[in-house]
């Protein structure tokens, strides 16, 4: 029971969410709850008045017309109460639907805003995605369910108080029997609700796998390989196997919950009919009137129903609090990249360059350093190329340079100041980056390029200039709606591009930002030789006086850099110009000659 009450700690937060989503709808629901709570007692009392009035009319020998006039006010009162009940129910349903929509938007916005404020390391951790999936699951419905359950409990409490006042006048023990008979069923339902929640939470990684399999089997990105490799049925089999395992576990819990509910429900039924028989005997003995008997039977039935509803609402409140725990846990995540108390704006222009000073780095959860004791100074106006086999640490170096991560040891300095002392937003504004796994936004060409500097999205000249710099100008002019052409197959009339064409759009997006430091990670891997040459001719002209960092496996591109950094096992093993490294006849010369042989 201590665990049960402790689980209700999220209830105030649920009210905060609902209040923030729609104050008007929340207030309306609360007001209508009070009205609905008073109706059962009023209806039961009105029923007694009608029956007693009918008996009086019969005893006094009234004819039909006079008798109807005598009973009519009570009938009108009952009709009015039924009308109020119907209107109240419909209006409450309307406000619930409005509140659900607004609450879904509010909660999803909270989750997304929290996600975009977290560091890159969260998104490279599988456990984070389990937390995110659990936060998304039923968070909005759980918050509304908590509020509705609490309001229903308040409604049932008001109803019970009004009914018990009438019931105690007859016999206090009926009120005790009514309440006690509902407790075992409530405890049983709470137990199985927790088991169901634990099962769903435990399965978060497998649930992500289920979603991933569905995406593979139905997404345009994977359909070609799925068909050509004959993966459809094998992956579908894996999907069905996982789904069946979930289904069997859920069914087992549901079956036990149903059997327990039926068993304990019989106790309430026996309590009701035992009390029913006793009230009938009291009526036959002439101790109460027929109207009293009708009222007390209605009151006892309503009281028993209200107690069950109260405990059911308490059970739903408990279950919903368990699910809301996931949202609370997610929203409590904090970024790990800490900015100092009084951050300074990043320099513009950069004057001294960038320095890696004894930098080592290992990813969270790993025991091996990806970078080890890196010392490198990149001067303003210099073009640097990073070369090395896959896994040498090139992209990791870029992540540290752009402060997507902080070094495990050492410092990355910009104009002699540690990156951690700069305001992170202004720091990121100094960088223009295109990664090898760049995003293919399923939006218009204009937006795909303009996202490189989103506050200049309304500047068509700047977008066109960036497109020309990235070599995408001729491509865009050949598209049906030019810059307003929708890209990708996700939308109707969307224009799909080849890998090289997408890469030109991504390059244009990088050039959209007039950055002090331009970082290109495998920027021309999908371009032909002529397009690659044109891009780097323009790139060299555009980056005069600024810093350029290039990662590429194409040595025809790399040799255009002022200095080449050769990485191996996380260390800088060679540094110099193309001519200097070829004369050194080391790792770079060996890799260059291996690639050159392929063109002979």
The domain spans of the chain are 10-331, 440-513
- DSSP state, residue 346: P
For residue 217, CA distances in Å to 221, 230, 236 come to: 10, 11, 8
For residue 513, CA distances in Å to 49, 91, 461, 471, 596 come to: 80, 52, 13, 16, 34
The whole-number pLDDT of residue 510 equals 84
Separation CA 314–CA 320 (nearest Å):
10
What are the tokens at 575?
């540094």
DSSP secondary structure string for all residues of 55-77: HHHHHTT--HHHHHHHHHHHHHH
Q: Which residues 6+ apart lie within 8 Å of 421 measured at CB?
A: 340, 343, 344
Separation CA 387–CA 397 (nearest Å):
12
Strands 547-551 and 383-387: parallel
Torsion angle of C-alpha atoms 379, 538, 552, 505, degrees rounded to 10: 120
Specify whether the backbone of 547 is left (phi greater than 0), alpha (psi in -120 to 50) or beta.
beta
CATH number assigned to the domain with residue range 440-513, chosen from the 4 options 3.30.9.10, 3.60.20.30, 3.40.50.720, 3.40.50.300: 3.40.50.300
Q: To 10 degrees, what angle do helices 126-136 and 204-218 make?
A: 90
DSSP secondary structure string for all residues of 130-189: HHHHHHHTTHHHHHHHHHHHHHHHHHHHHHHHHHHHHHHTT-HHHHHHHHHTTHHHHHHH
- Measured CA angle at 582 (ends 578, 587), to 5 deg: 100
The whole-number pLDDT of residue 449 equals 92
Question: What is the helix (H) or strand (E) element at residue 479, kind and residue range?
Answer: none
Torsion angle of C-alpha atoms 157, 160, 162, 167, degrees rounded to 10: -160
Q: Which residues 6+ apart lie within 8 Å of 152 measured at CB?
A: 33, 309, 310, 313
For residue 586, CA distances in Å to 565, 575, 578, 591 come to: 13, 11, 12, 9
Mean pLDDT of residues grouped by 10 in the chain (600 residues)?
Answer: 62 79 81 78 76 77 75 83 83 80 81 83 78 69 67 67 62 60 62 68 75 74 66 80 82 76 65 66 69 67 66 68 76 81 86 92 86 92 86 87 91 92 88 82 90 88 89 88 87 81 86 84 67 68 79 79 90 90 89 74
- DSSP state, residue 489: S
Separation CA 128–CA 136 (nearest Å):
12
CATH class assigned to 10-331:
mainly alpha
Collapsing DSSP states into helix, strand and coil, what is residue 223? helix
Separation CA 220–CA 441 (nearest Å):
14
The whole-number pLDDT of residue 27 equals 83
Strands 371-378 and 354-361: antiparallel
The whole-number pLDDT of residue 361 equals 93
For residue 183, CA distances in Å to 158, 304, 574 come to: 19, 11, 76
The whole-number pLDDT of residue 14 equals 76
The whole-number pLDDT of residue 464 equals 92
Q: Tally Cβ neighbours within 10 Å of residue 395.
A: 18
Map tokens 């990156």 to a residue: 419
The whole-number pLDDT of residue 327 equals 79
Q: Which residues pair with 386 in a beta bridge?
A: 551, 565
Separation CA 395–CA 519 (nearest Å):
10
The whole-number pLDDT of residue 57 equals 77
Collapsing DSSP states into helix, strand and coil, what is residue 193? helix
The whole-number pLDDT of residue 483 equals 92
- Measured CA angle at 12 (ends 9, 13), to 5 deg: 90
For residue 243, CA distances in Å to 204, 252, 495, 508, 556 come to: 13, 14, 35, 44, 51
The whole-number pLDDT of residue 141 equals 62
Percent composition of the chain: helix, strand, coil (DSSP 3-state, to 5): 65, 10, 25
Separation CA 139–CA 346 (nearest Å):
39
Separation CA 384–CA 564 (nearest Å):
6
What are the tokens at 506?
């991504």
Strands 371-378 and 547-551: unpaired
Collapsing DSSP states into helix, strand and coil, what is residue 481? coil
The whole-number pLDDT of residue 4 equals 56
């Amino acid at each position: 029971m201590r665990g049960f009450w402790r689980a209700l700690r999220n209830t105030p937060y649920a009210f905060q969410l609902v209040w923030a989503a729609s104050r008007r709808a929340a207030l309306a629901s609360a007001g209508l709850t009070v009205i609905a709570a008073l109706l059962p007692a009023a209806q039961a009392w009105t029923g007694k008045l009608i029956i007693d009035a009918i008996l009086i009319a019969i005893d006094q020998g009234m004819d039909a017309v006079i008798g109807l006039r005598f009973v009519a006010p009570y009938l009108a009162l009952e009709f009015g109460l039924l009308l109020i009940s119907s209107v109240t129910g419909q209006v409450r349903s309307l406000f619930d639907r409005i509140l659900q929509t607004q609450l879904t938007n509010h909660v999803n916005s909270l989750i997304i805003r929290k996600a975009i404020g977290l560091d890159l390391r969260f998104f490279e951790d599988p456990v984070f995605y389990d937390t995110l999936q659990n936060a998304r699951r039923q968070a909005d419905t759980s918050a509304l369910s908590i509020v509705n359950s609490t309001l229903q409990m308040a409604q049932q409490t008001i109803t019970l108080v009004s009914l018990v006042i009438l019931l105690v006048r007859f016999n206090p023990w009926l009120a005790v029997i009514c309440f006690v008979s509902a407790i075992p069923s409530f405890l049983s339902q709470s137990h199985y609700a927790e088991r169901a929640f634990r099962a769903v939470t435990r399965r978060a990684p497998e649930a992500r796998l289920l979603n991933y399999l569905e995406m593979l089997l139905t997404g345009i990105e994977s359909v070609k390989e799925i068909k050509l490799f004959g993966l459809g049925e094998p992956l579908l089999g894996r999907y069905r196997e996982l789904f069946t395992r979930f289904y069997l576990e859920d069914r087992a819990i549901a079956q036990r919950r149903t059997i327990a509910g039926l068993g304990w429900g019989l106790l309430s039924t026996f309590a009701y009919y035992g009390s029913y028989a006793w009230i009938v005997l009291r009526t036959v003995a002439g101790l109460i009137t027929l109207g009293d008997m009708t009222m007390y039977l209605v009151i006892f039935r309503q009281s028993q129903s209200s107690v069950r509803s109260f405990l059911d609402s308490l059970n739903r409140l408990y279950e919903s609090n368990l699910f809301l725990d996931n949202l609370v846990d997610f929203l409590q995540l904090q970024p790990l990249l800490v900015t100092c108390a009084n951050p300074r704006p990043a320099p513009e222009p950069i004057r001294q360059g960038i320095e890696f000073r004894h930098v080592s780095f290992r990813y969270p959860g790993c025991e091996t350093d990806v970078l080890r004791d890196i010392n490198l100074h990149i001067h303003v106006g210099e073009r640097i190329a990073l070369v090395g086999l896959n896994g040498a640490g090139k992209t990791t170096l870029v992540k540290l340079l752009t402060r997507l991560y902080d070094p495990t040891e050492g410092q990355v300095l910009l104009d002699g100041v540690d990156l951690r002392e700069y305001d992170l937003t202004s720091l990121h504004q100094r960088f223009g980056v295109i990664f090898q796994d760049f995003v293919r936004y399923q939006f218009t060409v204009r937006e795909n390029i303009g996202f490189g500097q989103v506050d200049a999205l309304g500047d068509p000249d700047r977008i066109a200039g960036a497109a020309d710099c990235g070599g995408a100008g001729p491509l865009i002019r050949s598209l049906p709606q030019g810059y307003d052409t929708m890209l990708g197959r996700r939308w109707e009339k969307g224009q799909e591009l080849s890998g090289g064409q997408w890469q030109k759009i991504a390059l244009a997006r990088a050039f959209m930002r007039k950055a002090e430091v331009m970082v290109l990670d495998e920027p021309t891997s999908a371009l032909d030789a002529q397009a690659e040459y044109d891009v780097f001719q323009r790139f060299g002209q555009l980056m005069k006086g600024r810093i350029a960092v290039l990662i590429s496996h194409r040595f025809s591109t790399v040799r255009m850099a002022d200095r080449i950094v050769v990485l191996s096992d996380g260390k800088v093993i060679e540094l110099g110009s193309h001519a200097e490294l070829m004369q050194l006849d080391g790792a770079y010369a060996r890799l260059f000659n291996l690639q050159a042989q392929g063109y002979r």
